[in-house]
Structure 1
């Protein structure tokens, strides 16, 4: 009798586990194959048609994907507008220089016309980030889909969770670990700084007032700092001038960024921080000693890993009709 009861209890447990597994649906390649088979092609075609008119958007879109995933997971919460009773992520300091919202909205309108209420804004961010990097000559990575959109976007959470340009190694390690990302991921995802630009305000303290007494960051190459002060960020309050994060190679997804790190020419404190830890510095050196394809392969793995951070699937979240507002 006892054995029979145990067997019955075991069956109940298995059924319950099976139910939980089905609720916690996973991302999968080709998620929209049946209910919106042209979705990914529509997105890819739009990116390839328009990104060449503004290739710098590739860096902006991968940054948007990064900032989205670090707050409540990859759920498009970064796209939500502030409302009368809630200040959204979009208005937090780290996101004030984000670009590409209109680009995402245009893609969303196309897929909504094709199959209304099917494709999430979260998946669109992940796909346009990948497709824009590929379209501008960078690496390819797989983007499994099936993400759903979040309904909460919080200003303070963005401030607390997005790795800042002035972050030291401990801060970066902690913020990445909070998302299930390790030190290799930190080095590899930072490698996206091989393309794009930044504003002087993100690093001018390194030039003019590093410790609050009008000094310069000793970890920054002095000749590079002098050049920046003479030709780019001519005063400490410049909030508009843009500077290449990978001078001379900002349009090419390559290893140049890592070479600059070892020359003490990483633009941000967070870049320089990668050389202050023996594990990350060694990995930087290892990447530089290998072929470019190795970096591409490893970068792809980290992007796929980041793209799975705390995703909403199954019946969690919603599929927004418009990316900037939750469904009514």
Structure 2
């Protein structure tokens, strides 16, 4: 018990220090920010997202992931969307982004619609925040109001992208510390990780798990062993790094609480996910996993609240409204 309390205290201290180092200014965000300058902005985003998700339900997860990876580096400022140039190094080649983040063409499509309606008005950062909300709704998830008025960063930060975005092999200590450093609580973390209910993972990110402690955490029944066998067939010990598997193998295209039930059964695909329930230090996180597995409404409420909180992490340096989400204005 002493070691757990010491660990929890250390996490708390690190979290406080981290949150002090990332100033948040949400004074300019408002639900009515575009009411006069671009009143159809949210409807334009929604229409494009409806088409995209109808074409391929996976587009919902792609947009949600882009918003998450954007907010964890410099705040929600569209920096994740910047391409490399002679004078700027973007974040797309970061370890957690390379060969993982896609959906940039969809962002371009939505941005073109917004620029056609209201040139130079709606930021790429706001586009991601609105599109992520709509993505969740379109696959059965909850609604939340999205405050808008974010500015697009004129810079990117590859170093922070490599260190600040949670990794799938992280242990619980590192994961909680990471979220606390962004001003997000343990409850926020467990709820936000629920977005994996519509996510896909690459073989390279779950190989260690399926050839490691998967058997130790899961039931030894035929169903569990058949699932493990399927995963190992898809993802051998060497090669096929980019093969994909859903993190919710029961209902991968529906935003629901089945993901948490898989953690209760020890079948989480990623080590970082299963740690929330199986780690001996995860007393609080395990309780939350149990709550969300039993009560989808509680999950939806906490997820919505956490998405607003995460979306309110802005870049204190400010920026601009990019005309093209891939490049700063000239």
> Aligned ranges for residues 97-176 of structure 1 at < 5 Å?
97-176=100-179
Superposed displacement of residue 319, structure 1: 0.5
Aligned partner of residue 137 in structure 2, secondary structure: helix
CA distance in 1, matches of 2:195, 2:172: 18
Distance of aligned partners of 1:24 and 1:207 in 2 relative to their CA distance in 1, 3 Å threshold: closer
In the alignment, structure 1 residue 204 sits paired with structure 2 residue 207: yes
Superposed displacement of residue 25, structure 1: 3.4
- Residue matched to 1:298: 302
Aligned partner of residue 91 in structure 1, secondary structure: coil
Q: After alignment, is 75-84 or 48-57 more displaced?
A: 48-57
Say whether the 8 Å CA contact 1:71–1:158 is kept in structure 2.
yes
- Residue matched to 1:319: 321
Q: State the TM-score, normalized to the length of structure 1.
A: 0.86
Regions of 4+ moved over 4 Å: 216-220
Superposed displacement of residue 324, structure 1: 0.5
Aligned partner of residue 320 in structure 1, secondary structure: coil
Superposed displacement of residue 24, structure 1: 6.9
Distance of aligned partners of 1:123 and 1:24 in 2 relative to their CA distance in 1, 3 Å threshold: closer
Aligned positions, number: 296
CA distance in 2, matches of 1:55, 1:25: 35
Q: State the TM-score, normalized to the length of structure 2.
A: 0.85
How much is the aligned-residue C-alpha RMSD, in angstroms? 1.8
Superposed displacement of residue 219, structure 1: 4.5
Say whether the 8 Å CA contact 2:81–2:92 is kept in structure 1.
yes
In the alignment, structure 1 residue 83 sits paired with structure 2 residue 88: no
Superposed displacement of residue 182, structure 1: 0.7
CA distance in 2, matches of 1:136, 1:217: 29
Distance of aligned partners of 1:219 and 1:159 in 2 relative to their CA distance in 1, 3 Å threshold: farther
Deviation string, structure 1 residues 203-238 (Cα, Å, up to 9, x no partner): 112234x5xxxxx556543624333113x2134322
1:282 to 284, 287, 309: 287
In the alignment, structure 1 residue 229 sits paired with structure 2 residue 232: yes
In the alignment, structure 1 residue 182 sits paired with structure 2 residue 185: yes
- Residue matched to 2:55: 53
Aligned partner of residue 201 in structure 2, secondary structure: strand
Distance of aligned partners of 1:201 and 1:318 in 2 relative to their CA distance in 1, 3 Å threshold: same
Say whether the 8 Å CA contact 2:150–2:314 is kept in structure 1.
no
- Residue matched to 2:8: none
Aligned partner of residue 243 in structure 1, secondary structure: strand
Superposed displacement of residue 159, structure 1: 0.6
CA distance in 2, matches of 1:128, 1:219: 39
In the alignment, structure 1 residue 269 sits paired with structure 2 residue 271: yes
Say whether the 8 Å CA contact 1:43–1:127 is kept in structure 2.
yes
Q: After alignment, is 277-286 or 235-244 more displaced?
A: 235-244
CA distance in 2, matches of 1:81, 1:219: 42
Say whether the 8 Å CA contact 1:151–1:326 is kept in structure 2.
yes
Distance of aligned partners of 1:274 and 1:38 in 2 relative to their CA distance in 1, 3 Å threshold: same
Say whether the 8 Å CA contact 1:187–1:280 is kept in structure 2.
yes
Aligned partner of residue 94 in structure 1, secondary structure: coil
